[in-house]
Structure 1
């Protein structure tokens, strides 16, 4: 699934090297040490498909286009200095930036671009659909000259959509010379890339101890900015409390995954600063329309009115969240800040009466077995209980719940989860939540709607129309219409988007910056 729990995050490190750093060494500020919660499954950019991988990959690799600062709406030149789109909307020409080198000193040119995108498509890993959804194949991506590449799509697509899909790590440009030297059994160098890097980004992979630490060393061939640190160490620290302690003891400079309790303990600490980062993820209740009560639109609406959104944000999140009820988050093209549902028990009860469930019904709610998910499930149980819906909570690990929720078996009635996108365009979310011509559609594309047995031919058609709309204003209007329908009738109740809080030691705080939403490389260039 495209769970990309794509959102904040950062770079790399290594535990054995970390043990050699004293306080005096840290004071030199040649090395930045970051603590983060999740590890990575793969460091091959054609395979890495989750935040833990992206944190590292974005530091070592570049793509043809990128974002600047915290503007996640307008793509800007990356390795491509410019591009053109044909009149029919199907042929793209990219002009590669000259005099750019990989960390090996080899040139970044059209051969490298064509090889890298061919490689991502040929490997056919789960993330490859981000490229192949446009009909791209090894035959439709071709070299025109040394610094010019042509891509031919199977039909016109919104320019913002296609460019956004050239930003995730799957579209990274690799050095074909060094990768080919390390191929094993036709693996396109994938095994070698788990331990090494072959990109043109500001850092290269150094030593690593999987599930413990990753060291990134400065790329001396990088010419588009100077890293503020010669080395970045990313340390895997699963427990937020441990991150706090290591931050206090100067074992790390940045703690990425603090919870409100830790923030409250640190907020008045003189040598530590707290940065807030609004995420692109939203938390929601998914409702299986195949379960008779939840197949009724008025029941789903009653559940949305029963939720006490303000209490969830103030008590469970301790203020580190923002109410959102539409599926395109703030900061993304198409955001619509409509929040019509309030905690209204009488309204919710009336809707249940109209739906034919005046006494309520029984329902199972699945959630992860740790905070804040357990607390959230308990709050929802109380809210729904107030309108007669009797909730049984079923807790489980991610390994247990994911096959039950995200498979063709659809073994759930309701669940609470977090969702984001694979690429920074509303199309990624609209396809997940509002497109499903029938329950048999491809789950890889249809995601939430498919899993929830939600079928809406109108929104499916609008999603396809928006993906191909070349006019930005018309496209924005289409996403507004889609969100209006889903807000009223859809298979989910969106609760909030969370604000992530990071602790940063004061001695490095002025040398790094946190935009309003972290999605692209950690901003540590001069």
Structure 2
């Protein structure tokens, strides 16, 4: 109750003085916080909180995407040809409950993720690493308790041991993901969570734990602990028993403010230290005394037009034929169609009009700041003559002779996606009067579900990384069994083989060579139209210290500053 009595007035004081106190950080955004249970975290809003109240074994070093350093671990070693990892754990670390962290807590945390592995969570990739499958035990009957127990355990020396079925070069990066945070086992069980035993594990497989007891009452080892949370406000306070350096910021207030204009006014007045901003075109509204705009930050998302080679919704096909009134389900299976569409998009105009000149045309669907990105690869440029040439070759000349009507959707409310779709439509229809592209807005959740079922002909969709390894993008987009495969219907034996090889070697140079092969092959077969990547920026009050290009790490969920709360001060 003392904590509530202390923090609640702080919120009132900040509003009254129109300036946040020196020891308090106020962040305003428009997002809900779905969960504070690490096993369910798979969105940036939840991740930005959990990464500050919980901690993982490893974390990224400074702004690096390739260097990892110990956090709750003090060191680790590899053995068994890269299939066994043994971690030494930090001593005398306290949870917010007052319990001392042990190896048993760490083993319980990872086992819990393997047991639950809900479809709504991000645990598929740690399950893939430790069990050889991204599925849970309900969907893959070969998963047994013995396999889970063997995958992660404690040895007699109190070390945490991971046994992988095969080499995974991304394993350490996966362990830095906030969903692999170490939870307080005794506290979790007291909240009604899984008891950690073989007797009950099957009861928890696939459960949706977004609103779990642990989410309502978390206990981590992080520098901050939750004091109060409701639909619109979260209050956190520095944990006095934190094992690391004591943070300068003692209080953190997260406020949900849906209206962009209200957030902009708040940071201008000093009511907020950091805010969620709108598109680059709105930055002019924020320029002024007391506000810093940090620009030219890395963008770690990748976005593309998907050209579905096997459209499973007859309603999008019109006549279903190349007669000018529709398209066949396999319209995009002809590489000439895909190349024509790729040449028909005006990349430079998109960068100029949507990204105000702050954009990069990438060579592949992998962030250019990531390891494995291949710079020396051809890219498509807007060329109406080239597009016309490939359209004339498509389907033996039938596309050019008869024309087509294509229906494509974009996410409702996404101005950049709408503009991209309109640019493509305008350019294609200008090539041949028999070509028609009908575009429409669609609710995001509906479009996601339909595209996952292969029911969209052409959509714009992107990917943000779970962990800083190229496989998280390359397998997702390009592999025939990748997460996005149903949305594109794309399959290429050579690419599949190269991606599989890259997944099974720890040799960085070899992996990079394989990813370059993927990029070159992708240019040749054109499964996607790569949308230029915007350059990121962030806006904050100038008195806030600890935000810079040298410290900004895009893998930190609290990407408004690219840092943890504990690294900030005023």
Q: TM-score, normalised by structure 1?
A: 0.89
Which residue in 1 is equivalent to 2:404? Answer: 361
- In structure 2, the CA distance between the partners of 1:228 and 1:305, relative to structure 1 (3 Å rule), is farther
Q: Which residue of 2 aligns with 1:7?
A: none
In 2: Cα distance, 1:498 partner to 1:15 partner: 39
Match of 1:270 in 2: 289
Matched residue, 2:309: 289
Equivalences for 1:58-457 in 2 at 5 Å?
58-126=51-119, 127-136=122-131, 137-145=148-156, 147-158=158-169, 161-183=170-192, 191-210=212-231, 212-267=232-287, 269-276=288-295, 277-290=297-310, 291-337=329-375, 338=377, 340-355=379-394, 356=397, 357-358=399-400, 360-370=403-413, 371-388=415-432, 389-406=435-452, 408=453, 410-436=454-480, 441=481, 446-457=482-493
Q: Secondary structure at the match of 1:273?
A: strand
Deviation, 1:174, is 0.7
1:38 is matched with: 31
CA distance in 1, matches of 2:160, 2:261: 49
* Count of residues paired in the alignment: 498
Deviates more, 1:140-149 or 1:356-365: 356-365
The answer to which structure has the higher strand fraction is: 1
Q: TM-score, normalised by structure 2?
A: 0.82
Confirm or deny: 8 A CA contact 1:365 1:416 kept in the other structure. Answer: no
| Higher mean C-alpha deviation, range 256-265 or range 115-124 | 256-265
Q: CA deviation at 1:28?
A: 2.8
Matches of 2:193 and 2:71, distance apart in 1: 31
* 1:505 equivalenced with 2:541 (yes/no): yes
Deviates more, 1:14-23 or 1:481-490: 14-23
Higher relative contact order (CA 8 A, sep 6+): 1
Q: Is the 8 A contact 1:326 1:339 kept in 2?
A: no
Alpha-carbon displacement from aligned partner over 1:336-391 (angstroms, at most 9, x marks no partner): 23452111111111111122333553211210121222222222211222333421
What is the alpha-carbon distance in structure 2 between the residues aligned to residue 15 and residue 391 of structure 1? 55
Structure 2: runs of 5+ lacking an equivalent: 1-6, 132-147, 196-202, 311-328
Contact 2:298 2:369 in 1 (8 A): no
Identify the residue that residue 4 of structure 2 maps to in structure 1: none
CA distance in structure 1 between the aligned counterparts of 2:48 and 2:543, rounded to whole angstroms? 23
Alignment partners' CA distance in 2, 1:111 and 1:310: 55
Matching residue of 2:143? none
Alpha-carbon spacing, 1:205–1:321, altered in 2? closer, same or farther (3 Å): farther
Kept in 2, the 8 Å contact 1:286–1:415? The answer is yes
Call closer, same or farther: CA 1:246–1:321 in 2, change over 3 Å.
farther
Closer, same or farther: CA 184–147 of 1 in aligned 2, 3 Å: closer
Matched, 1:57 2:99: no
Residue pairs, 1:483-494, within 5 angstroms: 483-494=519-530
Shift of the alpha carbon at 1:181? 1.5
Q: Distance in 1 between matches of 2:359 and 2:11?
A: 33
CA shift, 1:25, in A, is 7.6
Aligned counterparts of 2:129 and 2:16: Cα–Cα separation in 1: 51
Post-superposition offset of 1:151? 0.9
Give me the CA root mean square deviation: 2.3
Distance 1:423 1:184, change over 3 A: closer
CA distance in 1, matches of 2:9, 2:421: 40
In structure 1, stretches of 5+ residues that fail to align are: 1-13
* Distance in structure 1 (CA, Å) of the matches to 2:337 and 2:408: 15
User: Residues 191 and 213 of structure 2 are in contact (CA less than 8 Å); yes or no, is this contact kept in structure 1?
Assistant: yes
In the TM superposition, residue 289 of structure 1 has moved relative to its aligned partner by: 0.7
Q: Does the CA-based 8 Å contact 1:84-1:93 persist in structure 2? A: yes
CA 1:88/1:233 → structure 2, altered by over 3 Å: closer, same or farther? Answer: same
Secondary structure, aligned partner of 1:93: strand
